A and B are shown apart, each in its own frame.
Chain A
């Protein structure tokens, strides 16, 4: 069965600082991988996705993620965080033969001025 682990429940960074949110997955082959962001009271918005090819993926809002097969990881990064990035971030995995996504437990990002 596929699963996703986000080890950090809550992260606080200063505005302008760099950010890395961790995500590890468990799946026998290479799954499709996603990062979503959820602002308070809102639905989930796709930031980026990986399914094949270049292991460094660029997304919206200046985010990027790197797929590392050897580490079963898909960490999300941003070089300089803005106050508007404060939100909850979810990593998700989908096996090619399955339609539904399995989500991690989420990481809540707080941005200090």
Chain B
């Protein structure tokens, strides 16, 4: 079975450019999460969706960040304009949240973003 698929795996861009990260969750999973990993702050939850609806976006750093989930099989995280402090690894994770589940998340391999 395919896991969570993220693209691109690596992105190098210049400050001020728009960055779009993509995620395809595991088929059948109805919750999707975006996390950011940095040395200083560790793994931080940015936003999560349930049934394609954003539930908690309190972790989104500022208005430069936006996330969408137009359907159950695709999500994007956009940064516009990007800044050097956005450099991090961005992880997407998914899970099926129904009854009798313990909610462990399944992670993609991450998108490493470097903003020069």
Contacts and interface: CB of A to CB of B under 8 A. Distances in A.
Chain A complexes with chain B: yes
Interface of A: 32, 34, 36, 41-46, 49, 51, 90, 94, 99-106
28 contacts: A32-B102, A34-B104, A36-B107, A41-B109, A42-B109, A43-B107, A43-B108, A44-B91, A44-B105, A44-B107, A46-B104, A46-B105, A49-B102, A99-B33, A99-B48, A99-B95, A99-B97, A100-B33, A100-B45, A100-B48, A100-B56, A101-B103, A101-B105, A102-B45, A103-B35, A104-B42, A106-B42, A106-B43
B55 interface: yes
Given A43-B91, A51-B102, A99 B50 contact: yes
Contacts, number: 50
Nearest to B47: A100
**In the A-B complex, the 6 residue pairs with the closest CB atoms:** A43-B107, A103-B43, A44-B107, A43-B109, A51-B102, A105-B42
A42 B55 CA distance: 27
A99 B104 contact: no
* Chain B contact residues: helix, strand, loop or mixed: strand
A99 B48 CA distance: 9
B57 to A, nearest CB: 11
Interface of B: 4, 31, 33, 35, 42-43, 45, 48, 50, 55-56, 91, 93, 95, 97, 102-110
Nearest to A50: B102
Contacts of A43: 4, 91, 107-110
A20 B75 CA distance: 38
A72 to B, nearest CB: 19
Best-buried of B33, B48, B97, B104 by chain A (most CB within 10 Å): B104
